């Protein structure tokens, strides 16, 4: 087992001091190899040591401008600091450099969504849903972005999938209720799902408010 493997194992076991030591040894043994810097950057990010994490990711990128996971780690730092457009550029770089899985597409879609650019985020969220069709967080986010763009038919399909798979998902019930309220005459269905949302999550005041507004209009 090499130093990077030791460090990753230590992180998994929440032995963070041992992980830091192992990643330091990895860097000292191979100072021109980006993996040690990326691993140390991820460790520092998990500990909210943002400035140092940023330096480690940037060092990895200077060593290998195609280091997809370095771009992804740095993008996550910027996303969590609400620097969404900077994050979006880095998620795009990580994708271009071959990062695997749905997460980068999902996070890129969310970055554009936070910048009120859902149309730019839509194809990335759609790709994330294609890559991870059983990931309910992604399917819900895809449904919400479709709702935002008033693509109600595919949005209903996504939200219904989430509810069918996880009946207790209050956010899916809420968004499906709002969808029915604004896009159809199915007011009773809208009220039903909104009621499910605030029943499952009593602090969901927006769901209760819209439900009661519809009830008043329906009487």
CATH 1.25.40.10 assigned to 1-100: yes
pLDDT tens by residue, 81-130: 999 999 999 999 999 999 999 999 999 999 999 999 999 999 999 999 99
**HSE toward the beta carbon, residue 14, CA cutoff 13 A:** 0
Domain residue spans in the chain? 1-100
Distance of CA 68 to the CA centre of its chain: 17
Between the alpha carbon of residue 180 and those of residues 48, 90, 144, 214, the distances in Å are 41, 37, 13, 11
Backbone φ/ψ region at 82: left (φ over 0), alpha (ψ -120 to 50), beta = left
Which own/partner contact pairs does 140-144 have at CB distance under 8 Å and 24+ positions apart? 140/169, 140/171, 140/172, 140/175, 141/106, 141/109, 141/110, 141/113, 142/109, 143/172, 143/175, 144/175
CB 161 within 8 A of CB 139: yes
Asked whether 4 and 26 are in contact (CB, 8 A), the reply is yes
- Residue 219 scores a pLDDT above 80: no
Q: Each residue of 35-56: pLDDT tens digit?
A: 999 999 999 999 999 999 999 9
Note the pLDDT tens digit of each residue in 129-180: 999 999 999 999 999 999 999 999 999 999 999 999 999 999 999 999 999 9
pTM (two decimals):
0.92
């Amino acid at each position: 087992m090499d130093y990077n493997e030791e460090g990753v194992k230590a992180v998994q076991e929440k032995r963070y001091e041992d992980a830091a030591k192992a990643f330091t040894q990895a860097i000292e043994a191979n100072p021109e190899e980006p993996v040690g810097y990326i691993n140390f950057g991820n460790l520092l990010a998990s500990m909210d040591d943002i400035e140092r994490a940023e330096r480690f990711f940037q060092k990895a990128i200077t060593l290998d401008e195609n280091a997809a996971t370095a771009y992804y780690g740095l993008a996550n730092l910027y996303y969590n600091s609400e620097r969404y457009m900077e994050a979006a550029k880095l998620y795009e770089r990580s994708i271009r450099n071959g990062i695997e899985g749905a997460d980068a597409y999902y996070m890129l879609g969310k970055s554009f969504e936070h910048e009120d650019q859902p149309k730019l985020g839509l194809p990335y969220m759609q790709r994330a849903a294609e890559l991870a069709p059983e990931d309910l967080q992604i399917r819900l986010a895809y449904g919400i972005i479709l709702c935002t763009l008033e693509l109600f038919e595919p949005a209903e399909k996504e939200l219904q999938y989430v509810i069918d798979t996880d009946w207790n998902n209050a956010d899916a019930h809420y968004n499906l209720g709002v969808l029915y309220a604004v896009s159809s005459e199915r007011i009773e269905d809208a009220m039903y799902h909104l009621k499910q949302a605030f029943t499952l999550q009593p602090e969901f005041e927006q769901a209760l408010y819209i439900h009661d507004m519809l009830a008043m209009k329906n009487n």
